[in-house]
Amino acid sequence: MKVARRLLAMVVGVLVLVALAATVLYFLRARAPCRRQPSPSSLAANAAVQTINRGQYLARAGDCVACHTEPGGRQFAGGRPMPTPFGNLYAPNITPDDETGIGRWTVDEFYRMMHQGVSRDGSLLYPVMPFASYTKVTRDDSDALYAYLMSVAPVKQANRKHELKFPFNNRDLLLGWRTLYFKEGEFVPDPKQTAEWNRGAYLVEGLGHCAMCHTAINALGGSSESKAFEGGMIPNQNWYAPSLTSNQEAGLGNWPIQDIVDLLQMGISTRGTTYGPMAEVVYNSLQYVTDEDAKAMAVYLKALPKGESEAPPTSQARLVEPAVMETGRKAYVENCAMCHGDEGKGHPPAFPPLAGNQSITMASPVNSIRMVLNGGYAPGTLRNARPHGMPPFSHILDDAEAAAVVSYIRVAWGNTGAPVTPAQVNELRKLLPE
Contacts with other proteins by CB under 8 A lie at: 71-72, 267, 279-280, 282-283, 330-331, 334-336, 338-339, 347, 350-351, 373-380, 385-398, 401, 429-430, 432-434
160 vs 330 by CB, closer to other proteins: 330
**CB 284 → other proteins: shortest distance, Å?**
8
Query: 360, 368 in Cβ contact below 8 A?
Result: yes
CA distance 304 to 24: 64
**CB 222 → other proteins: shortest distance, Å?**
29
184 vs 434 by CB, closer to other proteins: 434
**CB 264 → other proteins: shortest distance, Å?**
14
Closest to 76 (Cα-Cα) out of 45, 55, 51:
55
Peptide bond into 38 cis (omega under 30): no
175 vs 432 by CB, closer to other proteins: 432
CA distance 163 to 399: 36
**CB 280 → other proteins: shortest distance, Å?**
6
H or E element: which one contains 81?
Answer: strand 81-84
The neighbour count for residue 378, using CB atoms within 10 Å, is 26
**CB 419 → other proteins: shortest distance, Å?**
18
356 vs 392 by CB, closer to other proteins: 392
Query: 175, 125 in Cβ contact below 8 A?
Result: no
230 vs 399 by CB, closer to other proteins: 399
**CB 409 → other proteins: shortest distance, Å?**
14
285 vs 357 by CB, closer to other proteins: 285
**CB 392 → other proteins: shortest distance, Å?**
6
Please state whether 232 falls in left (phi above 0), alpha (psi between -120 and 50) or beta.
left
CA distance 360 to 365: 7
Q: What DSSP state is assigned to residue 189?
A: -
CA distance 126 to 111: 16
Closest to 96 (Cα-Cα) out of 83, 108, 105, 88:
105
256 vs 341 by CB, closer to other proteins: 341
181 vs 377 by CB, closer to other proteins: 377
Query: 320, 411 in Cβ contact below 8 A?
Result: yes
Q: CB-based burial of residue 42 (10 Å sphere; 0-12 exposed, 13-18 middle, 19+ buried)?
A: exposed
Using DSSP, how many helices (H) and how many strands (E) does the chain show? 18, 7
Backbone angles phi, psi at 273, to 5 degrees: -135, 150
**CB 208 → other proteins: shortest distance, Å?**
18
Query: 314, 416 in Cβ contact below 8 A?
Result: yes
**CB 232 → other proteins: shortest distance, Å?**
22
3 vs 382 by CB, closer to other proteins: 382
Strand 81-84, strand 240-241: pairing: unpaired
